[in-house]
Amino acid sequence: MTTIFALATPPGRGAVAIIRLSGPDTERALEALGAGGLKPRLASLRKLSHEGAILDQALVLRFVAPHSYTGEDAAELHLHGGRAVVEAVSSALLDMGLAPAEPGEFTRRAFQNGRMDLAQAEAVADLVDAETAAQAAQALGQLDGALSQTYAGFRRDLLTALALVEAEIDFPDEDVPDHLARSAGPVLDKLLSDLRAALADADRGRRVREGYRIVLIGETNAGKSALFNALVRREAAIVTPIAGTTRDVLDADLIIGGYAVTLSDTAGLRDSNDPVEAEGVRRARARAQAADLRLRVRAPGDPDGPAAAYVRADDLIVWTKADLGGGVVPSEGFAVSAVTGQGIETLHDVLAERLARDLSGADFPAVTRERHRRRLSEAAEAVDAARVRLIDAPELAGDDLRRAADALSRVTGEIGVEDVLGEVFATFCIGK
Ligand SMILES: Nc1nc2c(ncn2[C@@H]2O[C@H](COP(=O)(O)OP(=O)(O)OP(=O)(O)O)[C@@H](O)[C@H]2O)c(=O)[nH]1
Ligand SMILES: [Mg+2]
């Protein structure tokens, strides 16, 4: 095993820069720097030097295996945060034969040494990336093992059912299917409904982690881009009286009510012979369909147009240009003006309420990644198949249950590890 090091703090100038070391040569490297023989887990101030030159006066922390983040011998050098100091210490470590860490390598070692499972390792990456309180809370829950425990619970139920099936098969008699339907059947029914509930809820975790997708959709000149600018508080989109101004989809990242949101402005929907506009309209439709929520933007007095086809029961209708006194107060939705700002605060509040409703609380810790969702759905499918076979071909039901257990183990990395490691750790930053 090589000994690795990396800058754990952001590159550039700062009060403190932390270089992390991990691996069997850690103590040798500390000694060579002039910080050998430190008491584990106690901060010690040492003058670090290399080949006779003083590099820095630093706070040094030493960790002895297995009591470290990685489970290996490890250390942290809390340096003065200037580029020259970090450069000098890094090149000294390179001279000593230590290797620069790959992205995610510290956490990968922690996983390989049994310090955390894969779902927890993913939570580390999520926590580092978290920009909203909700994202951080979700990642902390996952790091704490909440998600892992849910999957472990599913797996336990599966093994219970598997044991029942195998016991019956080993002592075959006439009534095997009957017995099984009574013993393993209810266990599988409950498991299946739990798996399906977790899957139904999977979108919530994704929406918190990646951002909730809100798309403005409407006919040309309805005022979508003007509303977009009012919501993002800058002149991000071009606004003109010419119908068909917007062609590309414009995305802006916002935080509304503590949740990450991606708001998109789109081309006004109409038939067009202009190939550029037609492509814009195609993209607008695709985005509207994939969105978590659509804001159907309408100008009072304009006839209902092609956007109507994209509105779903739960979507919001926003009437623009309220300052023009468009006459009738709409019976559905509410009125805003991008010019006077009327209704924009209210719209903001309504969106915050909607986000809280859609994204907070549920019985299960949210399934946060596509990788988990795929495995859960494989497991649900296999359990469903087993449920049918209990009656028809009980000797085959065990295979389905093993397949389901296998799918669940892959989420936490108990088995099938190698093929998922790359996928999980590729997204990490160096030093984590
Ligand atoms: N008075 C008033 N005019 C508005 C308001 N919102 C938009 N407009 C005007 O309506 C026209 C169209 O606005 P846009 O925001 O470009 O409309 P759009 O829906 O993005 O149009 P396309 O990009 O062509 O689909 C512009 O002349 C705006 O100045 C508003 O709240 N009040
Ligand atoms: Mg526009």
d(CA 125, CA 429): 8
With 60 as the cut, is the pLDDT of residue 421 above it? Answer: no
Query: Does position 385 have pLDDT exceeding 80, yes or no?
Result: yes
Ranking 4-13, 20-29, 355-364 by mean pLDDT, the lowest is: 355-364
Nearest C-alpha neighbor of 150 from the set 365, 316, 392, 415 = 365
What is the rounded average pLDDT of the residues 185-189?
89
Around ligand 1, the residues with Cβ closer than 6 Å are: 218, 220-226, 239-241, 243-246, 267-268, 320-321, 323-324, 337-339
Q: Which atom of ligand 1 is nearest to the CA of 268?
A: 25
Ligand 1 probe mutation, 225, 231, 265, 302, most atoms within 8 A of CB:
225
Query: Dihedral sign, CA of 349, 368, 375, 428?
Result: positive
CA of 3 to the centre of ligand 1 (A): 60
* Domain boundaries defined on the chain: 4-101, 123-201+366-417, 211-359
Q: Closest Cα to atom 21, ligand 1: which residue? A: 221
pLDDT tens string 135-165 = 888 888 889 888 888 888 888 888 888 888 8
What was the pLDDT predicted at 393? 80
Confidence of residue 422 (pLDDT cuts 50, 70, 90): low
| Greater pLDDT, 26 or 198 | 26
d(CA 209, CA 187): 32
Which pair of structure tokens corresponds to residue 310? 């994209």
Dump pLDDT digits (tens) for 274-320: 999 999 999 999 999 999 999 999 998 888 899 999 999 999 999 99
pLDDT of residue 276: 96
Determine the pLDDT at residue 172. Answer: 59
Average pLDDT over residues 334-352: 94
Residue found by looking up tokens 């605060």 in the block: 345
Look at the domain 4-101 and name its fold: Gyrase A; domain 2 (3.30.1360)
pLDDT category at 395 given cuts 50, 70, 90 is confident
* Cα distance between residue 168 and residue 176, in whole Å: 6
The confidence score (pLDDT) of residue 415 equals 62
Of 408 and 326, the structure prediction assigns the larger pLDDT to 408
Q: What pTM does this model have? A: 0.74
Q: Is the pLDDT of residue 122 over 70?
A: yes
Task: Please determine whether the domains at 4-101 and 123-201+366-417 fall in the same fold group of CATH.
Answer: no
- Which of the four pLDDT bands, split at 50, 70 and 90, describes residue 330? low
Report residue 170's pLDDT band, with 50, 70 and 90 as the boundaries: low
Nearest residue (CA) to ligand 1, atom 27: 241
Q: How far apart are CA 274 and CA 139, in angstroms?
A: 46
* Distance, CA of 262 to CA of 142 (rounded, Å): 23
Q: Which atom of ligand 1 is nearest to the CA of 216?
A: 19
Query: What is the C-alpha separation between 387 and 332, in angstroms, rounded?
Result: 47
**Could you tell me the distance, in angstroms and rounded to a whole number, from the CA of residue 361 to the centre of ligand 1?**
38
Q: pLDDT-based confidence at 26, cuts 50/70/90?
A: very high
- What pLDDT digit, counting tens, does each position of 203-232 carry? 888 888 889 999 999 999 999 999 999 999
CA-only gyration radius of the chain, Å: 29
- Ligand 2 geometric centre to CA of 221 (Å): 7
pLDDT band at 352 (very low <50, low <70, confident <90, very high): very high
Q: Which ligand is nearest to the CA of 277?
A: 1
- Rounded to an integer, what distance in angstroms lies between the CA atom of residue 124 and that of residue 130? 10
pLDDT for residue 213:
96
**CB-CB contact of 217 with 294 (8 Å):** yes
Which fold does the domain 211-359 belong to in CATH?
Rossmann fold (3.40.50)
Residue 387 has pLDDT above 60, yes or no: yes
Mean pLDDT of the chain: 89
pLDDT at res. 303: 86
Return the pLDDT at 361: 66
For residue 146, the model assigns a pLDDT of 84
Q: Report the atom number in ligand 1 closest to the C-alpha of 336.
A: 31
**pLDDT grade, residue 184 (50/70/90)?**
confident
Give yes or no for a contact between 291 and 213, defined as CB atoms under 8 angstroms apart.
yes
Q: What is the mean pLDDT of residues 257-268?
A: 95
> For ligand 1, atom 30, which residue shows the shortest CA distance?
321
Neighbours of ion ligand 2 (CB under 5 A): 224-225, 245-246
- CA 253 to centroid of ligand 2, rounded, Å: 18
- In CATH, the number for domain 123-201+366-417 is 1.20.120.430
pLDDT bucket at 426, cuts 50 / 70 / 90: low
55-83 pLDDT per residue, tens: 999 999 999 999 999 999 999 999 999 99
User: What pLDDT score does 406 carry?
Assistant: 87
| Shortest-distance atom of ligand 1 to CA 218 | 19
pLDDT digits (tens, 9 = 90+) for 331-340: 778 899 999 9
Cα separation, 259 vs 344, whole angstroms: 18
Supply the residue whose CA is at minimum distance from atom 7 of ligand 1: 223
